[in-house]
Structure formats: structure tokens, C-alpha cells
Structure 1
């Protein structure tokens, strides 16, 4: 059994070293009195040489095969399973080789940390840079929405009037204002260029706090890097795009790791300030600045941080470190929510109060009904749930089997999101967010279960069993992360259609869509009301299904030459309706067939992937206005 806060045996701390086949006391070696080493066994030498070259060849070969696999991917073939059904076999060969190379590197204590870092960064690139390299435009509709918010805040030099459903961003503007400041400083016109690389970049930055967190818990680097790999292999939720959530989560992990660094149980060398039972003042001030950045950028993450700090404060030995940070977080959150964010919170306080007495509905709100979804999406949903459940089960098993983990604080961090999961549904996403915030700690508990501390048993398992486990977890991630790419991917024609509308629509013109999956349509959202037909009152949706033209004109009626309405139909919207079942799959096709002859509608833009109709209410018979 290891001491508090320490993981399995640290090879650097051992008192003996093996030279050839004989154990030699380190003290004797230091004084030059060690017995002469026996010649290494030839078979062992050959195995070590093969392992050495496997590690060094596996990374560049797998990355080279990955890049070659992206040369010609038939993106138009994506349907129920998204990228999974169009990625070539070479991509999966690269994935397997990368995983095998990492496992070989992990099995050898002499592998330099740079190679482990390279393998993990290679995994991040393979997962998160693949869509960016394949798609000609920015991925995911919400990333486009956030670009529109940055643009609007720059135009208005701060708060955006007439924001409607985007008003929440006025109350938590930190992420957007930071990007606006960067754009002004660099002279760039838009964040669209670097926003496409946010998933890969954000995950690469996340590596630093993950390593710090795990190294505060154990000195066994195999366990540290194994936990890192498991985290990236199971992080399927997809909250890493250009969004306040990815920014706030990175800060959350940084604050959490720095707090663990100060705890008495930390496995890292203890600075003098921590021996006295507190923070170095300069470091505490810097951490409070990070907390302030979280508070002004995202409504949920400060609450997750408060819940995590409350959990970590339960052991008495932690309180001198955690309580000052907890107090600062509570005060900053309370001040912000009762001043700047008061307008939003006061409007939604009733929903919050109601959710407090419905914990069962909050927990299940994220489990969307699957009856109308496409068959492939039903399979994806069950795989997502299965992967999440597997992580939970393995983490619990790690907690029970590896008893030393109970003194690390990570089990407390893993269960910290549960109270928030029970008290609020967060628009149906709380279940996913709770999984995301619990995953760093849960990944370590899984690694502690899977990776033994006995080096003699470790290498054979690493080369046989662990690649299978790691590939199984990674396979589940690919289903969750790539399975909806038929909707998340946009073509240049779809982007051009949205740009046409936002550039030609006069102020107060109504923009009508089937769903929100139109890239860039939210630009100038303060000038144009927007209507998504798939998410209206059931009576209106039924009318749209029965008579698509009438269903559209019900919302566009009253449009004039000065304030016309624009209807946008596009490939991604059609795919959304098919995958989710929000509208019958033929709704868009029926509209496209009927609109050319419908009174008041004029086609003003057409592309193979998108079409735009301008609508002005026809004059009644007799010419009266």
C-alpha cells in the first residue's frame, strides 16, 4: 500500500536497480562498489531493440498513413453514421498503429517522455484535426453562431441590443470579448480562420493541466500517461469547438490542477508555502484571476467549480488550501450573477426553481427519444450511452480495487458534478456536461484499475490486453464524435447562401429555416428575426407537414418589399430532419417542388446544396393594399 497521495511504486524511488539479471543496491552503485554487471541476455537485447524501434517508427508511420488516408474521402456519402461510413480503411490502420505504438512506449520505462507526448498529440490530431482537414468550411452550426456573436459585439463595442435568444451572451461575454480584443489587435476581420482549429488546439492545451493533475496524484508516469490516453479516448461529448464552454473547461481544469498541486497529499515536491498550510500569495492571486475569467464567460462552469471545491474541502487536511479558493469563487459568482447577469437569471429563475423539485427529469432530460431518429443514429446513441456507462463502471471498480486512490481526492472530483445533475437540466445537456467534468478524474480511476503497479506483470499485458481495451474505448469515441458529421459539415454553397441572405436582407426582414443548420445565417442576428420551423408549436409543425407552402407563409405573412422574408433550404437542414426525425424526410423536397409556382415566392439564390427564396405577401384580389 502506498502512502497518501502516491500511486504505485515509483521506479526512481526504488532502492535497488537491476543490472543484467541481478539486483544491485543504488547506494553501492553511487560509490562505485557495485558488482560488475552480467552481460545482457541476447534475446532480451533483441526484444528491447525491437521495442525501441517500434516506438520510434510507430508514431511517424501512423501519422503518415493518417494524412494519406485523407486525400480522397467521399464526404457526400455521409448518412446515418457520418464520417464513420466514408473514412477509408487506411485511416483505421493508422489508428490501430498509433495505439499499438503508444502501448509499446508505455511498456518501456526507458521511453523518453517526448515520445509519449508525441503519441498523445498524434491522437489529438487524428481525432480532432481530421474534420478540419477534410472540410472546406468551419464545422458545426454553433461555432458559426459564436462567430456571429463576436462580430456583433465588435460592431456594438460591447452589449448587443435586440439580441433575443442570444441575450445570454450579453450576460457572459468574456469569451467573445477576448476574441474581439484579439481580432482588433491582429487586424483580422473574422475568427473563422482559427475557429476551425479550435478542437485540436483546445485539446492540445488541455494536456498541460491533465498532466499536472495526474502527477499530483502519482509519480508512476505509466499511470499518468495511461490516464491521459483514456481521457482523450473517452471524451466523446464534443464540447471542444469554438465556444465559451471549451474555454471555460480549459480554465476549470487549470484551476483544479493548481489546487491539487497545493494539497498536502500531492505527490509532487512540496513548496514551503504549502508546508505552512496555504497558497503562495502570488499564485493564489493568479488562480483567482482564472476563476474570474470563468465567471464572466460561462454560466455553468463556475457552479461546477464550486461543486468540485466543496467536495475537495470535505477532508479536513485540504481545507487550508481549498476554502480560500472556494470563498473567492462563491463571491465572484454571486457578484456577477446578481449584477451583470441579473437580467437573464431573473427571467429564468422560475425554471430553475421548478427544476429543483424534479431531479429525475433533470437526469433523464439529455436522453433524447429515439423513436423518430434514423436507424444509424439510434445505434450511435446506444454506443454513446454504453461508452459512458463503461467509464463509470470501470471508474467505480478502480475506486474499489485500488484503495490507494481513495486518498487522492480524485474520487471526490469525479462525483462533484452529481449535485448539479440532479438540480438542473441545463436545456437537456446537463447529463453530458456532468460526464465531461467528471471524466478527468474518472479516466485516472480507470487507468489505475487497468494498469498494474507491478512492472513484471505490466509489459505482457501492455502488448496484448491493453491495446484491445484502448481501441475499444477509442472506437466508442469515434461513434459519438463522428456520427453526426453529416449535419456538422457544411459546403461552400451553403455558406454562400447564408452570406447572400445576411448581405441582402433589409433590417427587420424575417429569416425562415427548417432547422438552425445554416452556416453563418446568424450574422447580424440583432437585425433580423429568425424562425426555425422544426421547433415551433406542434400545430404549426403539423400544418407544415400537411401543406409545406402554407406552413411557411403562416410565419412570413405580412412581409413587404421593404421588409421581405427569406426562406433558406439546404443540404444540412435536410440531413438534420432525416437524422433526428424532427421533420419528415421529404419536407424540404416538397417545398422545393411547390415554391416555384407559389404566389409571393421568388428564387434569389440557387446552388446544388442550398436555395434561397424571397417572399413578399401577395396583394389581395382587386389590388387593394
Structure 2
């Protein structure tokens, strides 16, 4: 009996010693001392000062001055000062082990507000044409009480309707007239909500607050892709991160902490559920399957990313008891959905999908053919985007090599999981950006481990990391704000779109040069749309050669009862100039040509938008 007590006591002493060496425990001891350092006081002051300066900077911003670099060239020095102070204050928090989680949360939420609420506060209306399109789809679902007939190229939303059905239900339950009222605030609210599953994911790997909040800061500093607007992708991605976090939390390698002598300890109590047992509690498994079902019914791409992530997580034998049941359920639900509800779309596009499997190199670099030259600033923004993305993957790879303990987690597997999907399909030229988006949550924690894992000299460590954090944030600003001249809509542009939606008889054709038109799809189930940036290269060449004759092939059905409406606007001009999809001066040339042709009657005209009506050639 004495020998048993001695052995038990020795093991308990060893465990206590290991836990004491864990940085979180040491930080707890310091916090209990009640002493507040100068760094803490400085960080606490910088947060409200930065937010005040940010709000102050938004009083006078000349949005009309946006060109090559979007918001970057019109935001005042005060805005950049606020962003810098916010980053410096966060670095000060990281340098002090006594920092409470609430201050980390304040800074990360402040960063979200500064980045994502700035356009919302500055712009008079909803930004980004695709957000307007999704508002129109939600309104159409309500009008038709479900599936929208005569949806044309937007019929894909009838086959993945989960996001729109939920919004329609919300609008009808609350009595709101349209999703436009809250869609404007989607980016800041969505990113704030996304913080919860990100923290849940990071806590499955470590309990070190510096690493957890550092990873969250890095995620928001590198998430330049902009898939955070009112869209099925944003909704599905939120559920994807939540589901992966729940799966990661059940893995037998979760919540491992590295001690000072490079050993691993596991904290918690298996009986209370803190330590994963490798088995799914029934309630949690049901929740995971419900999340998977909602994802599968809401977006065509995210289920593929989900299946890919689950496949790579199942590679280690120790994970299979947890991952394989979820993988089997996700595959089964995806197959059932694609074979029933989504069957029309799958059947129509199966050949193209199979063909793309044989062209992985083309999928990675695909994009629209241009007839002009992209704006110099747009080229710079594109290079910064790509450099930031490359830096994220390089830093994550270095972390994998330099921090051996992360190899026992599923982080590296989650980073590479989107790559097979990237090689399989171009997804309209956007797959490379989506792959980056899905890899970013795990990559952010790897970078945080590389830069912020507790060393012998934490202050110097953070001092060295702070410039890199500032550079990452600067890269985000280029990617997120650099294209805003085409994403921003003036009041006159919004009125032009609404004018067409309100006056065009059913069956009228609505024509635009690009999709950068607010309200272009407000009655898409009644009025077919033609966007020339989505047309074949030959069609665009004919249009550039002769704007009037180039239109004729798309307006053959126009009549006095069902005329065609051609919308030319400021945002389209900015879009053309940025991307080079058409010659930079083409908007001016087309407007001049139509104004001189008596068959095209201007029915709406302001400095930012003009609408022509075409009723057919007069005999």
C-alpha cells in the first residue's frame, strides 16, 4: 500500500510540475498577483484611441476619388494611424503573459470593425453586385414561395436553396420587406460571428491564449478574398469551420500542450469530456450531421471542400474512429442531394466537370480573357494578393518544419485539403482563391505557433513578429480595398437599377457591359439579363468593333411590348478599367454610339448612370 501511494504521489507530482511549466499556468500565477504593467496600461489605452481615430477618419472621405487602388487612395492618414495603433496595441498584449482574454477579444473585434465596417459606414448603399444578386434571389424565393421559375442562369440557386430559404423564412417571420436592410451589415457581423468557430477550432489544438488570439488576428489580417458578403459561400464557410472544429475536438490528438522540455501533456478530465475519447457523443454527432446537411443544401463547392478535409483528416489511423463516420455521412448526403435536388445542374454540367479533371494546370490559372490592358494599380493589387497568399503558405510550411509538435495535430492536413479540389475544377476562375480561403484558418494557427510560441525571451520574440504582422495587415488592405471603385455604387446607380426593375415589362431584356450594376437582377425571373463580360470572346470583339451592331444579336426579340434596356454606369466603367476585360475607353465610345442612334432612346440619365431603351428597328 505504501509503495502504491509513493508511486501515485510521484506521478501526481510529475503531472503538477508539467502543468506548472505550461505557459498558461505561469500566466495565471502572474495575473493573481494583481499587478498591472505599463505595457498593459498602454495596450488598454491604445484600443479606444485607435477606434476613436478610426471613426473620426470616416467623416470626410471623397469616394469619387477612387480609381486604381480603390479605397486605399482616398482613406485619410488618420485611418492608417488608427490601424497602426491597433496593431501595435495588439503586439503589446502578446508581449505580456498576464493579458486577459477579454482584451484580446476587444482588439480582434476592433480589427474586424476597422476592416469590414469601413465600407458599410462610408457607402450609401449595399456594396458589391453579387450581394445585390443574392438579395434579388431571396426576394424572388419569397414571391414564388420557394423555387423560382424561369430563373435562367440563376437556376443553380434553385438546386442549392438552403441559404435563400433560411433568409426567406427569417424575413417572413420578422415582417421585414427585403434582405437589403441587413445585407449591408453582413461583412462586419459575419466576421464577428465567424470568430466563435475559429476560437473553437484553435482551442482544439492549444489552450495558450496568445496562440489562439494571435491566430485569430492573423486570420483576419490575411483574409483578403472577400467571401464575407451576403452570399451562400459565406454562410456555408461559417458552418464548415464550425463542423471542422467539432471534428477536431473529438480527435485523440486534440488539446496537446508542449511543456518546456518538449514533452506533451493533456489537460482536463476524460470523465467530464475535456479529453477526447475517440467516440462521438450522440448529440454532437447529430449536430455535425445537421451542419453537413445545411452546407450540402446551400452551396455546391463547400461540400467538396468538406469531403476533402475529412478525407485528409482520416489519413492518420488514430483519427479514423472519429472522422470516418462523419465522412461517410457527408458523402452519402452529398450523393443523395446531387442525385435528386441538384440533378438537373449536375446532368447539364457533368461533361464540363469531367473534362476539367483532365486539365488541372488550366484550372489553377484560369481566368477571363481580356481585350484591354488592366489598370496599373489593379496589377499591383493582384501581385500583393498573390504575395500575401504565398507568404501564408510559406510561413505555414516553415511552422510545420520548425515546430514538430504541430505535426501531431490535423492543422497541416487542413492546409493541404483544398488542393485536390483546386486541381479538379476552375470554378469560374475563382478556385485558387477559394482554396486559399479554406486553408487559411488552419494556416493562421500554424503561423501563430511559428511566431508566438513561448520562448525564453517572449518580448523580443513579439518585437520581431510585430513588423511581420503589420506587413500582413497591409497586404490585406490592398486585397480587400484595392478593387472598391467597382464594388461601390452611388445613389444614382442604385436608382438606375431600380428604375429598370420598376418600368421594364415582363420579358424585357436587360443588358450591361459587366455585372457591376446594383439591382441588375431584381426581376431576373421576369427579365433575362445579358452581361458582356460573361459572353464569348467573339461576341465581345464584335461589340468593341461596332457597339451598335455588336448589340443586335442580343436584342432580336425586342419589341414595343417587350423592349430591351441597356444600362451604362460608373461602376461598370471602373470594372472595365480595372480588369481590362474591354478597352478602357469603351464605355464612353458605346454611350456616344447609342446616343447618336435614334433606335436607342435615353430614358434615365445622370452623371453616374444612363439607361437606353430599344424597341426594335423602326421600319
Summarize deviations over 1:69-99 as a string: whole Å, max 9, x none: 0101010000010000110000000000000
Matched positions, count:
590
Summarize deviations over 1:506-553 as a string: whole Å, max 9, x none: 111111111111101101101111112344333332232222222233
1:8–1:220 Cα contact (<8 Å) kept: no
Question: In the alignment, which residue of structure 1 is the partner of 2:381?
Answer: 380
Alpha-carbon deviation of 1:247?
0.3
Change (3 A) 1:554 1:353: closer
Summarize deviations over 1:199-251 as a string: whole Å, max 9, x none: 11111111111111111111211111111111111111111110000000000
Alpha-carbon deviation of 1:108?
1.3
Question: In the alignment, which residue of structure 2 is the partner of 1:513?
Answer: 512
Alpha-carbon deviation of 1:13?
4.2
Question: In the alignment, which residue of structure 1 is the partner of 2:193?
Answer: 205
CA distance in 2: counterparts of 1:369 and 1:309, whole angstroms: 38
Alpha-carbon deviation of 1:260?
1.1
Alpha-carbon deviation of 1:15?
12
CA distance in 2: counterparts of 1:483 and 1:270, whole angstroms: 49
Alpha-carbon deviation of 1:594?
3.1
Which deviates further from its counterpart, 262-271 or 8-17? 8-17
Matched, 1:611 2:599: no
Matched, 1:231 2:219: yes
Matched, 1:266 2:254: yes
Question: In the alignment, which residue of structure 1 is the partner of 2:466?
Answer: 467
Change (3 A) 1:401 1:8: farther
CA distance in 2: counterparts of 1:375 and 1:348, whole angstroms: 36
Matched, 1:115 2:103: yes
1:7–1:218 Cα contact (<8 Å) kept: no
Change (3 A) 1:73 1:7: farther
Change (3 A) 1:458 1:207: same
Change (3 A) 1:560 1:8: farther
**Is the partner of 1:296 in helix, strand or coil?**
helix
CA distance in 1: counterparts of 2:26 and 2:37, whole angstroms: 25
Question: In the alignment, which residue of structure 2 is the partner of 1:10?
Answer: 22
2:27–2:97 Cα contact (<8 Å) kept: no
Summarize deviations over 1:446-468 as a string: whole Å, max 9, x none: 111111322x4111332x32221
2:371–2:582 Cα contact (<8 Å) kept: no
2:251–2:276 Cα contact (<8 Å) kept: no
1:9–1:453 Cα contact (<8 Å) kept: no
CA distance in 1: counterparts of 2:484 and 2:76, whole angstroms: 16
CA distance in 1: counterparts of 2:20 and 2:485, whole angstroms: 45
Question: In the alignment, which residue of structure 1 is the partner of 2:529?
Answer: 530
Question: In the alignment, which residue of structure 2 is the partner of 1:63?
Answer: 51
CA distance in 2: counterparts of 1:375 and 1:296, whole angstroms: 41
Task: From 103, 112, 117, give the equivalent of 1:124.
Answer: 112
1:234–1:473 Cα contact (<8 Å) kept: yes
Question: In the alignment, which residue of structure 2 is the partner of 1:600?
Answer: 599
**Is the partner of 1:428 in helix, strand or coil?**
coil
Which deviates further from its counterpart, 131-140 or 413-422? 413-422
**Is the partner of 2:511 in helix, strand or coil?**
strand
Summarize deviations over 1:461-520 as a string: whole Å, max 9, x none: 32x322211110001111111110000000111111011111111111111111111101
Alpha-carbon deviation of 1:14?
5.7
CA distance in 2: counterparts of 1:224 and 1:578, whole angstroms: 41
Question: In the alignment, which residue of structure 1 is the partner of 2:12?
Answer: none
Question: In the alignment, which residue of structure 1 is the partner of 2:402?
Answer: 401
Which deviates further from its counterpart, 413-422 or 269-278? 269-278
Question: In the alignment, which residue of structure 2 is the partner of 1:556?
Answer: 555
**Is the partner of 2:554 in helix, strand or coil?**
helix
Summarize deviations over 1:324-367 as a string: whole Å, max 9, x none: 11111111111101100001001000011111111111122259
CA distance in 1: counterparts of 2:276 and 2:138, whole angstroms: 45
CA distance in 2: counterparts of 1:609 and 1:371, whole angstroms: 22
Question: In the alignment, which residue of structure 2 is the partner of 1:77?
Answer: 65
**Is the partner of 1:605 in helix, strand or coil?**
strand
Matched, 1:168 2:168: no
Alpha-carbon deviation of 1:118?
0.4
**For residues 294-309 of structure 1, what are the structure 2 equivalents within 5 Å?**
294-309=295-310
**Is the partner of 1:218 in helix, strand or coil?**
coil
1:510–1:531 Cα contact (<8 Å) kept: yes
Any stretches of 5+ residues in structure 2 without a counterpart? 1-14, 256-266
**For residues 442-481 of structure 1, what are the structure 2 equivalents within 5 Å?**
442-454=443-455, 456-462=456-462, 464-481=463-480
Pairwise CA RMSD of aligned residues?
2.3
Q: TM-score, normalised by structure 1?
A: 0.91
Change (3 A) 1:236 1:370: farther
Change (3 A) 1:16 1:109: closer
Task: From 181, 184, 188, give the equivalent of 2:176.
Answer: 188
CA distance in 2: counterparts of 1:362 and 1:460, whole angstroms: 43
**Is the partner of 2:602 in helix, strand or coil?**
strand
Summarize deviations over 1:409-435 as a string: whole Å, max 9, x none: 111111111111111111111111111
**Is the partner of 1:556 in helix, strand or coil?**
coil
**Is the partner of 2:94 in helix, strand or coil?**
helix
Change (3 A) 1:441 1:503: same
